[in-house]
């Protein structure tokens, strides 16, 4: 008979797989769309479907994550497992994933929707695409950071160290995504002339 701990582990893994996997495919699909110079309706619908899977994964992750907190609280509070720098760092990153996802819904999907059927190699898209490149970078780095932190047994770094490395990675990712993204749009524009 599967105990609660094993059940929660399984659910947590499923949530992470859907979330990290979905974020990976989503970013790849987005860059593929940008690379061919247009976003058509089917590409946008695919991104929305992947987004739904990511949200489902996120929900499973959060519910199972709090399931672990409740298990520790009820069964073994004396171990003091919750006040753990790695856990707090993971919680912080999960918060970033959450609000980043909401911003994507508020800004990125409407942006792509407004460019369906229109060419992307123009200054209007280049100016507005910063939000897409930035949220995409934050999403992928955050999902993999949370995955690594969850899997890395015995990590005993402080909260400050973990978050310092995470912020540095996110900053680098944002810069890289925007540089590469703009280069692709510039190249597109040159190819079309």
Partner 1 sequence: MTSTLAQLLIGHVALGLLGITLFVMVTVSLMRNPLRIGLIKWSAFLGFIAFVASWVTGGYYYVTYYGKAVKPVIKAGAYPWAHNFVMEAKEHVFLVLPFLAATVWLVLWLLGDSLETAPGLKRAALFLSWTIIIIGVAITLSGTVISGAVIPK
Binding mask 51-70 for partner 1 (x = CB under 8 A): --------x--xx--x--xx
CA dihedral defined by 12, 29, 124, 109, rounded to 10 degrees? -40
Under rule CB under 8 A, residue 160 binds partner 1: no
Under rule CB under 8 A, residue 17 binds partner 1: no
Under rule CB under 8 A, residue 74 binds partner 1: yes
Kindly tell me which of 39 and 185 has the beta carbon lying closer to partner 1: 39
Instruction: Give the whole-angstrom CA distance, residue 63 versus residue 81.
Output: 18
Under rule CB under 8 A, residue 10 binds partner 1: no
Under rule CB under 8 A, residue 49 binds partner 1: no
Using the rule CB under 8 A, give the single segment among 98-106, 115-123, 146-154, 161-169 that binds partner 1: 98-106
Q: Which of 32, 41, 73, 187 binds partner 1 (CB under 8 A)?
A: 73
Task: Please give the structure tokens belonging to residue 17.
Answer: 């797989």
Number of neighbours of residue 146 by Cβ within 10 angstroms:
24
Alpha-helical (H) ranges within 36-122 are 41-75, 85-103, 109-114
Q: Which of 91, 116, 131, 169 binds partner 1 (CB under 8 A)?
A: 91
- Are the C-beta atoms of 142 and 96 separated by less than 8 Å? yes
């Amino acid at each position: 008979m599967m105990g609660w701990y094993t059940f929660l582990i399984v659910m947590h893994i499923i949530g992470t797989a859907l979330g990290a996997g979905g974020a990976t495919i989503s970013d790849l699909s987005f860059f593929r769309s940008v690379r061919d110079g247009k976003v058509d309706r089917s590409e946008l619908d695919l991104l929305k479907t992947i987004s739904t899977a990511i949200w489902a994964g996120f929900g499973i992750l959060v519910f199972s994550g709090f399931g672990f907190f409740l298990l520790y609280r009820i069964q073994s509070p004396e171990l003091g497992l919750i006040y753990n720098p790695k856990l707090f760092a993971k919680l912080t990153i999960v918060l970033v994933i959450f609000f980043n996802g909401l911003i994507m819904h508020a800004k990125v999907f409407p942006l792509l929707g407004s460019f369906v059927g229109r060419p992307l190699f123009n200054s209007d898209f280049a100016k507005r695409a910063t939000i897409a490149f930035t949220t995409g970078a934050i999403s992928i780095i955050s999902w993999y950071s949370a995955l690594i932190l969850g899997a890395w047994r015995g990590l005993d770094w402080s909260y400050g160290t973990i978050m310092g490395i995470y912020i540095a990675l996110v900053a680098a990712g944002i810069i890289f995504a925007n540089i590469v993204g703009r280069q692709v749009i510039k190249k597109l524009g040159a190819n079309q002339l």
